[in-house]
């Protein structure tokens, strides 16, 4: 397979769709996949892209983990570099200018669970499952699992998943707050795209400001976070799109197409 085919990208009406494409190995993450994923992320054009959906090829797996065959030969330095690379790529996704929706269509284990956790919104098929099985392989999660899971579902739930290495069904993941919605497998992508389209219809500058405010504020105290919100709120008043959106509301008419400025 050409390395460009390891991660596929398509775009339609403001929604970019990224697909991890190694279904023959359950979309396992290896260095070439991460390299290609980073290339796709870096090439996104935010003049046209207003929301991103990420999923896995096939019906069995979102991403079933990092590629164990590749890791088998690692020494400590190579393992460190692999972790740093994965964290850099996932952090780019987490801090992307626009929201990212994970459409979890099957196994989200190890690196797959960590990839989903790096997204802004997570929805899953009713056949999906989540887990951090690294301790069964004598390692720790390496792409943010020990950090993002605790922030998303609390330290007790995160430690339970990581220490026991047990798999969590989509329904249990939803009860924990790891995902927001569960859908039949044949409806997952349509619902993910519908969600992304709904986001894409809103004022782009405002959506991006909301994402930044949440991400920045959650790692500070409340007083600092409220200051971040006030700054992001006031910045919106400098935009043409804000003016058009408010005028349209007052004049009881649909807004003109937003110009992203």
The domain spanning residue 160 has which CATH number?
3.90.226.10
Residue 56 resides in a domain: yes
The answer on 156 and 50 residing in a single domain is yes
Total residue length of the chain:
261
Q: Give me 9's structure tokens.
A: 């990208």
Predicted structure pTM score: 0.94
Catalytic residue status for 197: no
The total number of structural domains in the chain stands at: 2
Give me the mean pLDDT over the 8-19 stretch. Answer: 96
Looking at residue 244, its pLDDT comes to: 86
Catalytic residue status for 134: yes
- Tell whether the model's pLDDT for residue 260 goes beyond 90: no
- Give the helix ranges, DSSP H, for the chain: 31-42, 68-71, 76-94, 111-117, 145-153, 155-164, 170-176, 188-200, 204-217, 222-236, 240-250
Residues of the chain above pLDDT 90, percent: 89
Which residue range is the domain that position 163 belongs to? 3-200
Instruction: Report the number of secondary-structure helices (H) and strands (E) in the chain.
Output: 11, 10
Residue 255 resides in a domain: no
Residue 257 resides in a domain: no
Looking at residue 1, its pLDDT comes to: 66
Who has greater pLDDT, 44 or 256? 44
The answer on 170 and 96 residing in a single domain is yes
- Considering the candidates 10, 13, 39, 134, report the single residue annotated as catalytic: 134
Mean pLDDT of the chain: 95
Q: For residue 109, is it left (φ>0), alpha (ψ between -120 and 50) or beta?
A: beta
Closest CA to 43 of 6, 88, 2, 11: 11
Residue 225 belongs to a domain with what CATH number?
1.10.12.10
The answer on 227 and 134 residing in a single domain is no
Residue 81 resides in a domain: yes
- Euclidean distance between the first and the last CA atom of the chain, given in angstroms as a whole number: 40
The answer on 231 and 166 residing in a single domain is no
pLDDT tens figures, 125-139: 999 999 999 999 999
pLDDT tens figures, 209-219: 999 999 999 88
The answer on 210 and 188 residing in a single domain is no
- Considering the candidates 114, 172, 229, 251, report the single residue annotated as catalytic: 114
């Amino acid at each position: 397979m050409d390395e460009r085919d390891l991660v596929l990208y398509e775009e339609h009406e403001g929604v970019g769709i990224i697909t991890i494409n190694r279904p023959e190995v359950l979309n396992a993450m290896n260095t070439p996949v991460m390299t290609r994923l980073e290339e796709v992320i870096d090439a996104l054009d935010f003049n046209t892209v207003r929301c991103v959906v990420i999923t896995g090829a096939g019906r069995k797996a979102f991403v079933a983990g990092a590629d164990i065959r590749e890791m088998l030969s690692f020494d400590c330095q190579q393992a460190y570099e692999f972790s740093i690379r994965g964290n850099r790529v996932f952090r780019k996704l987490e801090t992307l200018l626009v929201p990212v929706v994970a459409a979890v269509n099957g196994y989200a284990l190890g690196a797959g669970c960590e990839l989903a956790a790096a997204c802004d919104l997570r929805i899953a098929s009713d056949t999906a499952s989540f887990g951090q099985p690294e301790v069964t392989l004598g390692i720790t999660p390496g792409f943010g699992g020990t950090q993002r899971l605790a922030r998303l579902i609390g330290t007790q739930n995160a430690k339970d998943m990581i220490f026991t290495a047990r798999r969590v069904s989509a329904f249990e993941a939803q009860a924990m707050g790891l995902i927001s919605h569960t859908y039949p497998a044949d409806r997952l992508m349509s619902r993910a795209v519908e969600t992304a389209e709904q986001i894409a219809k809103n004022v782009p500058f405002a959506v991006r400001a909301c994402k930044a405010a949440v991400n920045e504020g959650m790692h500070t105290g409340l007083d600092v976070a409220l200051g971040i919100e006030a700054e992001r709120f006031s910045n919106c008043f400098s935009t043409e799109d804000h003016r058009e959106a408010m005028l349209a509301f007052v004049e009881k008419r649909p807004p003109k197409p937003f110009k992203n400025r």
